[in-house]
Amino acid sequence: MNARVAVVTGAGSGLGRVIAEALLGAGYEVALAGRRREALEKTAAGSPSALVVPTDVADPASVAALFAAVREHWGRIDLLVNNAGTFGPSGTPDEVEVEDWLAAVGTNLTGSFLCAREAFALMRTQEPQGGRIVNNGSISAHVPRPGSAAYTATKHAITGLTRSLSLDGRPFGIACGQIDIGNAATDMTAGIATGARQADGSVRPEPTFDARHVADAVLYMAGLPLDANVQFLTITATTMPFIGRG
């Protein structure tokens, strides 16, 4: 049986790199998508199963080129991990520049839609039909941090996208689930461990957890047969301020 084919966005750093490396280690053929070729090549580490495709997920033409490369190289796609994202602008709504809001929406929400759109089109027409989409929603799909209107709004919207993809994918064997991650330790979240602003205005360090557990969770979601689906999975540092009042 041929190896399964995955596309991981934001694969040049952070969780995207960890997830992509785990998929490669599990025998997947993986298209690595991200803005910086050098970073993607570091993730690929010379693996013959990796395809480096520099991509701007907010650009429809760039996303179309990514999936055209996947189609040409492997002829199908079994898994899309919609991971690319940006924290975007920080501040109260009146302090957020409109251009920065639009940029965050472009990457986090429109980018996820564009990739899902291309993956969906290939999954419904390939033989055998079907595949799986896993969206990175974040804890911010549930609750905001102070000064995070753009990031939080886009992540709440990802939940709606996940639900719609799940429903629309049913006739074609396309499953869609969402992983909501809280405080996985990466370079991008290093500041949280030293001090993060809380709802009461204080700044306190927050616990983190090994990002490899996120990759293990994605592997579990991806490994299910298409007649089973993890709709929503939340994985956090056990004592992070999320459940209850802190």
Q: What element of type H or E holds 44?
A: helix 37-44
Buried b (16+ CB within 10 A) or exposed e, 219-245: eebbeeebeeebebbbbbbeebbbeee
pLDDT at 245: 61
Number of other CB atoms surrounding residue 191 within 10 Å: 11
Instruction: Give CA–CA dist 199/90, Å, rounded.
Output: 14
123 vs 42, 84, 129, CA distance in Å?
Answer: 29, 20, 6
pLDDT at 17: 97
User: pLDDT tens digit string along 9-40?
Assistant: 999 999 999 999 999 999 999 999 999 999 99
What end-to-end distance do the CA atoms of the chain give, in Å? 49
Please state, rounded to an integer, the average pLDDT across all residues of the chain: 95
pLDDT at 20: 98
The pLDDT of 122-148, averaged and rounded, is 96
Positions of E strands within 50-161 = 50-54, 79-82, 131-136
| Whether 28 is catalytic | no
User: pLDDT tens digit string along 90-130?
Assistant: 999 999 999 999 999 999 999 999 999 999 999 999 999 99
The CATH superfamily holding the domain 5-236 is NAD(P)-binding Rossmann-like Domain (3.40.50.720)
Q: Is 35 helix (H, G, I), strand (E, B) or coil?
A: coil
Structure tokens at 60: 């429809």
- pLDDT tier for residue 2 given thresholds of 50, 70 and 90: confident
Give the active site residue among 151, 154, 169, 176. 151
Instruction: Give CA–CA dist 46/51, Å, rounded.
Output: 10
pTM as predicted: 0.94
User: pLDDT tens digit string along 192-214?
Assistant: 878 888 887 888 888 889 999 99
Q: What element of type H or E holds 32?
A: strand 29-34
